[in-house]
Structure 1
Amino acid sequence: MMAGLAAPEVDSDIEHDLSRQSPSSWQTVVWNDPVNLMSYVTHVFRTYFGFDAATAHRLMLAVHHDGHAVVARGPREVMEAHTLAMHDFGLWATVRKEPS
């Protein structure tokens, strides 16, 4: 710290709220759509996320049968980037806060 400069005051309530938020408290969710083939969704999961064949297939089946699958968890900014990438591949995806 440089001489003569005071440390900024931080509201302890805000600091406490920020410390409680987990950096991995966000999800990227891919939703079922009537357009993309199951093989294509599996391909996207393998190439973009680097999932092995079995994991990519399992997630694709969750999207197909359950209507959606959580494909990633992490910081909000990273999940937003994943969501945009899924849009670029033509998939429906959203970011959501991890349920408590």
Structure 2
Amino acid sequence: MSIASPDLDRDIRLDEAAAADVPWQTVVWNDPVNLMSYVVRVFRQYFGYSLDRATQLMLAVHHDGHAIVAEGPREQMELHAQAMHDYGLWATVRKAPAA
């Protein structure tokens, strides 16, 4: 015999919905292989960033070791990270810090 708790089920669904709303980030990491000009080209070609924005992000990768190149739903960030891998860049996906 199983007893369902509608309130418990509702709470779990609300928690899942709240977690889905949390933004995620695609982070590109510095590597010893790719030229800075190539990284700028990738950011411009894939994300459609302006030359100035792509250069700014590339410099963050170079000087700080990483840069957040996109933020949004987890599934989209995973697609971005995979695309960066396809271009030969090191990228990961992480949950955005709470505001």
| TM-score, length basis structure 2 | 0.86
Amino acid at match of 2:97: P
Amino acid at match of 2:96: E
2:41 aligns to what? 43
1:20 CA drift (Å): 2.0
Unaligned runs of 5+ in 2: 1-5
| TM-score, length basis structure 1 | 0.86
Same amino acid, percent of matched pairs: 65
Number of positions where the alignment pairs a residue of Structure 1 with one of Structure 2: 92
Write out per-residue CA displacement over residues 27-83 of structure 1, whole angstroms, 9 at most, x where no aligned residue.
Answer: 000000000000000000000000001000000000000000000001111100000
For the pair 1:57 / 2:55, whether they are aligned, the reply is yes
Unaligned runs of 5+ in 1: 1-8
Higher helix share: 2
For the pair 1:29 / 2:37, whether they are aligned, the reply is no
1:14 CA drift (Å): 1.2
Indicate the RMSD between aligned Cα atoms, in angstroms: 1.5
